[in-house]
A and B are shown apart, each in its own frame.
Chain A
Amino acid sequence: MNNPILAIRHLSVTFNHRQTVVDDISFEIHAGETFALVGESGSGKSITALSVLRLLPNNARLNAEAVNLHGDNLLNHSEFELCKIRGRRIGFIFQDPMSSLNPVMTIGGQIEEVIKLHFDLPRDAVKQRVLELLQQVEIPEPQQRIKDYPHQLSGGQRQRVMIAIALAGKPDLLIADEPTTSLDVTIQAQILGLLKAIQQQTGMALWLISHDLTLVSTMADRVAVMQQGKIVETGLTAEFFNQPKHPYTRKLLDALPLMQSCLAHKTEEKPPLLQVSDFYCYYPIRKGIFKRVVDFVRAVDGVSFNIQQGKTLALVGESGCGKTTLGKSLLNLIPGSGRVVINGVELNALTGEALRKQRANIQIVFQDPFSSMNPRMLVGDIIAEGIRALHPKASSDERKARVRQLLQQVDLPTDSALRYPHEFSGGQRQRICIARALAVDPKLIVCDEPTSALDVSVQAQIIQLLKTLQQEKGVSYLFITHDLAVVAEIADDVAVMYQGKIIEQGSVAEVLTQPKQAYTKKLLAAVPVLKMDH
């Protein structure tokens, strides 16, 4: 252990000569180990990884005592010499495989490129090596896939191609920057398994960068936590998770949603608030000279469910299963057909002004807190918008008083009303969105992945806020999410969606502990569980 593969000494990165993103950090990675660098968004973990290979954006300045690769200081190498190290000694996997692959180049070509660059092999051998790599990353029918373009592959396959590219140079160290964040949970499990297997085969070191503590606990040998550009704690994984020393680490661990909490929910029956039966959302597929409708995309294919007053139904599913479409079409933002009854009023019969009047019953909170508020409007106006539209008679003083009250309810200072959205952090913005939805006193709020764009500690706060509001106001939630751990925290009932249909529903304890359908079981099996026993 005395001879680390990579040793970083006193590394700092500054943007635009002002903003220090990485602040004087030092650590080592040893041969064959998995080292995880954990931190919330903006903590500087990705920048640290990029700065090792000097792949930083132009406005960044790097300052370090040494970045040693096998004792050889990379800082002394010219850009040209570094090119011999990139891809050859250190492989890199990026977060989003769609944007990280060249869209107009075949995947075979993109892998080949690395081999040709670093090894002097005859053409046949190169071709052979590409096939080998594709087999190694378990892509089916590599012979055919070689000529495919990235857009023809699924998300998981693209990430496999990224891994193949990183492995093509036979590196000693593989840096994986959030390799599974953009993938569905079942695919995530496969990719992590693949990375582990490859590491065992080749014996290379793996530097994993992630925000996900549970994932890290299953993968890493050693962990370092980064906060605001500094490493606050380093340690072996077992020690780290069992006896966290730094308060920040403890805070992170406490914020993790726990699957066990699903058992704590009350099961008493309440009268139904929303009844949905036989709901469909079809998009026509048009073909031919006159664009005749030949078939439909069945985004939501005949679903029925109820939500009880003051309770939360979680709608769970992987990306593309139709859960967001369902949520939006319940609000008539996307056309759908079927019976929707809320509070005794049948919604699907209404159009125009009558529909507008009923809008107060259901509201929505979106996933992305950055695009869900008009950047040109004051927060006060954003919250008051619904009051203005649905209660046009309210005086401006009444509106202001109501906005102040709402801001207090979501724990924001009352002077926020006179500021613009961009002055707030992601969590604060999500609070504003909740206040906007609450402004018209809805009976039901559709929460469309409201926490998945947020850091784990902020996510816990928002979930707590939603729970508190439910107790105070008796509002029901339709909570759309892909994250089963969050479901366990918040939901009373669960509906699992797969390919436009609800395949299983029931109380949260029932579905999460005794799943009936194979798909639900697969989903549950793929959820990484915090591993405390190393």
Chain B
Amino acid sequence: MVVLWTDALIYLLIVVILALGLYLRGKEHIKRPLQQISRSKIGMVSLVVLLFFVLIGLLDSVHFKPADDKKNEIISLLDDWATPLREHGEKTYSAPFATTLYSKEMMTLADGSMQWGYPRLEFGGRHLSNPEIEKVPDILQKTVYGLAQGASLIGFFMLLMWMLLVEQHKRFMRSSTAKTVWAVAFFMVSFSYALIYLSGYYHVFGTDKVGEDVFYQAVKSIRTGLVIGTLTTLIMLPMAIIFGILAGFFRGWVDDIIQYIYTTLNSIPGVLLIAASILMVQVYMANHEAAFTSVIVRADTRLLFLCMILGVTSWTGLCRLLRAETLKLREMEYVQAASALGVKQGAILLRHILPNVMHIVLISVVLDFSSLVLAEAVLSYINIGVDPTSYSWGNMINGARLEMAREPIVWWSLTAAFVFMFALVLAANLFADVVQDAFDPRRSGNE
């Protein structure tokens, strides 16, 4: 097994989340908002969608070198499962579900004569002898077959769950929210099973310029999006929390210095700071080629740097919020009562200030997630995002954009990137809304 830097941080993130979960288990002020979230249909549905994405991202975060290693490459669990997709490359563009290439070229017929036409694809629809007649019924049949298989799989799973549940949980499962969640999960699993099943025979989202399967690209991009959305926050949180609380609590010269730092960082336009930093990373990597042996390690390092730089540019907002809130909290009477009781300042910070600003941290984490995913696409488009060799929706859009002028146009790369990104960001936005409603005291009327 090979652990890349971002993998390690993802594992760390999971450990942190688990530890936090254990620590906060049964705490009243966490339980009530969580119950509110679990009652919200939109919240739960978007959570299921998000978890689905996260699962794919996690599968893509376990890297290893395959046993029959010939090319000295590092692949992930997801790659291993998608080996057919990965290796079924075509020569160049082909439309979704196509059996022939997108452009005409000179091809050699069986009898040795040359002909100007659309050559058959090497893998897409190879099992068909007469594509023009057989294709549509074949696709329909395979869709139904895939849906049925997926449905029976999730159906079996649900039945198993139902049998294992005790009566108390069953009552919870009968609530309308739970039903909606199950319906969505059922639909999602069957649908994606059908997609996977179909992609064994066709390129369901077509292929790109070098003939790579677009479906595979879009799925691989999920990890990049998630990494940017989560690791950036993981990197910036300690800075924002420590600086914000210290500035608000101690005021005076501590506050002056911290304010100076974040105003300075803030005053540089974010994109330019990112651009400058990425340029420097590029120069550094170009001059230290020896340290970055394989393409994937190189891309991973750049991804990590991007997360760090985004973190550096984005901690100021949260820091300012936390400073303002701490300024308010330190005048609260319970903080004054604590210092009247002789509680030490460190204990006041940990016991009274930190728990009471956590809701702001949580809300800003979920709100930032979607904007970071969107930012990745924009940054990659202007070449200051992820490495051009790594899979990301930004790179997909960037690659496809140039083909917009082509007649007839190549639309499937854009569409695939759009659909995947939209699903993830929409789910994240909806979930963020529900989380905010539940945790923001001003919105929900709880303390």
Cβ of A230 to closest chain B Cβ, rounded Å: 25
Q: Per a CB cutoff under 8 Å, which of A371, A376, A389 touches B29?
A: A376
Cβ contact within 8 Å between B341 and A436 = yes
A333: B residues at CB distance < 8 A: 336, 339-340
Q: Per a CB cutoff under 8 Å, which of B28, B339, B352 touches A420?
A: B28
CA distance A385 to B350 in the complex (A): 13
Cβ of B357 to closest chain A Cβ, rounded Å: 11
CA distance A366 to B342 in the complex (A): 17
CA distance A388 to B342 in the complex (A): 9
CA distance A420 to B26 in the complex (A): 12
CA distance A328 to B339 in the complex (A): 11
Segment among A124-132, A176-184, A261-269, A357-365 that sits at the interface with chain B: A357-365
Say which size band chain B's interface belongs to: 20 to 34
- B68 contacts chain A at the CB level, 8 A cutoff: no
Give the residue name and chain of the A residue nearest to B339 (CB): A333
- B70 contacts chain A at the CB level, 8 A cutoff: no
Interface SS of A by simple majority: mixed
Cβ contact within 8 Å between A371 and B341 = no
Cβ of A325 to closest chain B Cβ, rounded Å: 13
- B344 contacts chain A at the CB level, 8 A cutoff: yes
- A373 contacts chain B at the CB level, 8 A cutoff: yes
Q: A376 with B336: in contact, given A356-B342, A360-B342, A390-B341 (CB under 8 Å)?
A: no
A436: B residues at CB distance < 8 A: 337, 341
- A96 contacts chain B at the CB level, 8 A cutoff: no
Interface SS of B by simple majority: helix
Cβ contact within 8 Å between A389 and B347 = yes
A356: B residues at CB distance < 8 A: 342, 344
Q: A377 with B351: in contact, given A390-B342, A422-B447 (CB under 8 Å)?
A: yes
- A372 contacts chain B at the CB level, 8 A cutoff: yes
Q: A371 with B340: in contact, given A420-B28, A422-B447 (CB under 8 Å)?
A: no
- B332 contacts chain A at the CB level, 8 A cutoff: yes
Q: A371 with B351: in contact, given A359-B340, A385-B343, A386-B342 (CB under 8 Å)?
A: no
* B170-225 residues at the A interface, CB under 8 angstroms: none
- A284 contacts chain B at the CB level, 8 A cutoff: no
Q: A374 with B340: in contact, given A366-B333, A420-B29, A422-B447 (CB under 8 Å)?
A: no
CA distance A385 to B332 in the complex (A): 16
Give the residue name and chain of the B residue nearest to A369 (CB): B333
- A331 contacts chain B at the CB level, 8 A cutoff: yes
Q: Per a CB cutoff under 8 Å, which of B341, B344, B351, B352 touches A440?
A: B341
Cβ contact within 8 Å between A374 and B356 = yes
B27: A residues at CB distance < 8 A: 376
CA distance A366 to B343 in the complex (A): 17
- A433 contacts chain B at the CB level, 8 A cutoff: yes
Cβ of A277 to closest chain B Cβ, rounded Å: 22
B332: A residues at CB distance < 8 A: 371-372
Cβ contact within 8 Å between A385 and B333 = no
A422: B residues at CB distance < 8 A: 446-447
- B338 contacts chain A at the CB level, 8 A cutoff: yes
- A375 contacts chain B at the CB level, 8 A cutoff: yes
Cβ contact within 8 Å between B343 and A373 = no
Cβ contact within 8 Å between B341 and A366 = no
B446: A residues at CB distance < 8 A: 422
Cβ contact within 8 Å between A363 and B341 = yes
Cβ of B217 to closest chain A Cβ, rounded Å: 46
B334: A residues at CB distance < 8 A: 371-374, 382
- A504 contacts chain B at the CB level, 8 A cutoff: no
CA distance A363 to B337 in the complex (A): 8
Give the residue name and chain of the B residue nearest to A358 (CB): B342
A363: B residues at CB distance < 8 A: 340-341
- B269 contacts chain A at the CB level, 8 A cutoff: no
- B355 contacts chain A at the CB level, 8 A cutoff: yes
B340: A residues at CB distance < 8 A: 331, 333, 359, 362-364
Cβ of B342 to closest chain A Cβ, rounded Å: 4
Q: A328 with B342: in contact, given A374-B356, A422-B447 (CB under 8 Å)?
A: no
Q: Which of A360, A376, A437 has the most CB of B within 10 A?
A: A376
Scoring B residues 12 to 56 as 1 if CB is less than 8 Å from chain A, else 0, what string do you get?
A: 000000000000000111000000000000000000000000000
Cβ contact within 8 Å between B355 and A376 = yes
- A368 contacts chain B at the CB level, 8 A cutoff: yes
Q: Which of B334, B339, B447 has the most CB of A within 10 A?
A: B334
B447: A residues at CB distance < 8 A: 375, 422
Q: Per a CB cutoff under 8 Å, which of B337, B342, B344, B356 touches A376?
A: B356
CA distance A364 to B447 in the complex (A): 23
CA distance A366 to B336 in the complex (A): 10
Give the residue name and chain of the A residue nearest to B447 (CB): A375
Q: Per a CB cutoff under 8 Å, which of A362, A371, A376 touches B333?
A: A371
Q: Which of B29, B337, B343 has the most CB of A within 10 A?
A: B337
Cβ contact within 8 Å between A389 and B351 = no
Scoring A residues 428 to 454 as 1 if CB is less than 8 Å from chain B, else 0, what string do you get?
A: 000001001101100000000000000
CA distance A375 to B335 in the complex (A): 12
Give the residue name and chain of the A residue nearest to B359 (CB): A376
CA distance A520 to B343 in the complex (A): 39
Cβ of A311 to closest chain B Cβ, rounded Å: 21
Scoring B residues 358 to 384 as 1 if CB is less than 8 Å from chain A, else 0, what string do you get?
A: 000000000000000000000000000
CA distance A375 to B27 in the complex (A): 11
Cβ of A343 to closest chain B Cβ, rounded Å: 16
CA distance A503 to B400 in the complex (A): 82
Scoring A residues 260 to 284 as 1 if CB is less than 8 Å from chain B, else 0, what string do you get?
A: 0000000000000000000000000
Cβ contact within 8 Å between A389 and B344 = yes
Cβ contact within 8 Å between B341 and A389 = yes
CA distance A390 to B341 in the complex (A): 8
CA distance A363 to B336 in the complex (A): 11
Cβ contact within 8 Å between A359 and B341 = yes
Give the residue name and chain of the B residue nearest to A377 (CB): B351
Cβ contact within 8 Å between A364 and B344 = no
Cβ of B445 to closest chain A Cβ, rounded Å: 10
Cβ of A432 to closest chain B Cβ, rounded Å: 11
CA distance A239 to B120 in the complex (A): 103
A360: B residues at CB distance < 8 A: 342
Q: A374 with B341: in contact, given A420-B29, A422-B447 (CB under 8 Å)?
A: no
* A439-496 residues at the B interface, CB under 8 angstroms: 439-440
A390: B residues at CB distance < 8 A: 341-342
Cβ of B24 to closest chain A Cβ, rounded Å: 10
A388: B residues at CB distance < 8 A: 343
Cβ contact within 8 Å between A389 and B342 = yes
B28: A residues at CB distance < 8 A: 420
Cβ of A126 to closest chain B Cβ, rounded Å: 39
CA distance A373 to B351 in the complex (A): 12
Cβ contact within 8 Å between B333 and A368 = yes
CA distance A364 to B338 in the complex (A): 10
Cβ of A258 to closest chain B Cβ, rounded Å: 30
CA distance A371 to B27 in the complex (A): 20
Cβ contact within 8 Å between B344 and A433 = no
Scoring A residues 386 to 405 as 1 if CB is less than 8 Å from chain B, else 0, what string do you get?
A: 10111000000000000000
A364: B residues at CB distance < 8 A: 336-337, 340
CA distance A155 to B344 in the complex (A): 39
CA distance A367 to B333 in the complex (A): 9
Cβ contact within 8 Å between A372 and B342 = no
A440: B residues at CB distance < 8 A: 341-342
Scoring A residues 321 to 360 as 1 if CB is less than 8 Å from chain B, else 0, what string do you get?
A: 0000000100101000000000000000000000011011
Give A contacts to B, CB under 8 Å.
328, 331, 333, 356-357, 359-360, 362-364, 366-368, 371-377, 382, 385-386, 388-390, 420, 422, 433, 436-437, 439-440
The 10 closest A-B pairs by CB, nearest first: A359-B342, A386-B341, A372-B333, A366-B333, A376-B355, A375-B447, A389-B343, A356-B342, A389-B342, A374-B334
Can you sample 7 A-B contacts with CB below 8 Å?
A333-B340, A357-B342, A375-B356, A382-B334, A385-B343, A386-B343, A389-B347
12 new A-B contacts at CB < 8 Å, known A333-B339, A422-B446:
A331-B340, A333-B336, A356-B342, A359-B341, A363-B340, A364-B340, A366-B337, A372-B334, A376-B355, A385-B338, A385-B341, A440-B341
